[in-house]
Amino acid sequence: MNEIQNPHIIKVKKLFARYDKKIILENIDFEINAGEIFMIIGGSGCGKTTLLNHMIGLLSPSSGNVFIEGEDLFGVSEEKQLSILRKFGVLFQNGALFASINVLANIGLPLKELTKLPEEAILPIVQIKLKMVGLDNVLTLLPAELSGGMRKRVAVARAMALDPKIIFLDEPTSGLDPVSAGEMDTLIDNLSKILGITFVIISHDLISIKKIAKRAIFLHQGQIVAEGNPKEFNKHHNLIVKNFFNREQEEEEEEEEQEEVEL
């Protein structure tokens, strides 16, 4: 099946997903435009990572389709599917770097495994990717010698190794302090603007969502309950969505009340 007329870089159509008998996603339908920063939002365990794993071909849907530039990811030959997957870079939720090898080897790994590039061609590519994520002088360091924020940047550099058109990031700011999280947002925004990369990002981070997302979907109990500009989700008619986006304000109010009590 081929949707030649499809102008979207990604289209998820009537997707159902399950683990054994447990249904996780029901009738998921949305599109992502080329070059946009698109976010997948929702409470813990609602199926965000499961959805991402279907979009990158790691899991196949129990029914429905994922189209990448009009081509059905699960309706093409294995060879064609591999060529589609080469358009992706992925930062997995628990996507740690390999601890026993240095930064150069970590970022160079996809180049070594998936291309025929000679060893000497890998170093300059890795250096360019590190520059793009704003890191210098880290080539020979092991992951344990980097800060959490630096590790995430190296992981983004690794996701960029094969010059992907689309980068999937599963919670890129989780575990980072607010300053490092802000720097990660700026990095993503810049890469999107300068290189035109399409970003699909899973996030819980309200600041990040409001700052860089152009469009988003909100998942709840396996379904999309909100879609559009997340800056407007704080007024959404669905209470789950509305409360999620107003929690920051509520937390601040609670803290203020607490301070008053303590005084």
Ligand X SMILES: Nc1ncnc2c1ncn2[C@@H]1O[C@H](COP(=O)(O)OP(=O)(O)OP(=O)(O)O)[C@@H](O)[C@H]1O
15, β-bridge pairs: 28
Residue 116: both structure tokens together: 């025929």
Does 118 bind ligand X (CB under 6 A)? Our answer is no
48 or 158, CB closer to ligand X?
48
Question: At which residue do the structure tokens 């509305």 appear?
Answer: 242
Least distance from ligand X to the Cβ atom of residue 57, Å = 16
Least distance from Mg ion to the Cβ atom of residue 203, Å = 10
Size of the site for ligand X (CB under 6 A): 11
Which of ligand X, Mg ion, none does 203 bind, CB closer than 5 to 8 A by kind? none
Member of 15, 28, 39, 49 binding ligand X (CB under 6 A): 49
Q: What are the b/e assignments for 137-152, b being 16+ CB within 10 Å?
A: ebbeebbeebeebbbb
19 or 254, CB closer to Mg ion?
19
The interface with Mg ion within residues 88-107 (CB under 5 A) comprises: 93
Q: Which conformational region is residue 159 in: left (phi greater than 0), alpha (psi within -120 to 50 degrees), or beta?
A: alpha
3-class DSSP assignment, residue 151 = helix
Size of the site for Mg ion (CB under 5 A): 2
Does 19 bind ligand X (CB under 6 A)? Our answer is yes
Does 198 bind Mg ion (CB under 5 A)? Our answer is no
Residues in contact with 43: Cβ distance below 8 Å, sequence separation at least 6, in sequence order: 220, 240, 244
The interface with Mg ion within residues 49-68 (CB under 5 A) comprises: 49
Please state, in angstroms and rounded to a whole number, the distance separating the CA atoms of residues 201 and 196. Answer: 15
89 near 111, Cβ under 8 Å? no
Member of 44, 77, 94, 137 binding ligand X (CB under 6 A): 44
41, β-bridge pairs: 218
> Which residues would be at the binding site for Mg ion (CB under 5 A)?
49, 93
- Contacting positions for ligand X (CB under 6 A): 19, 24, 42, 44-50, 93
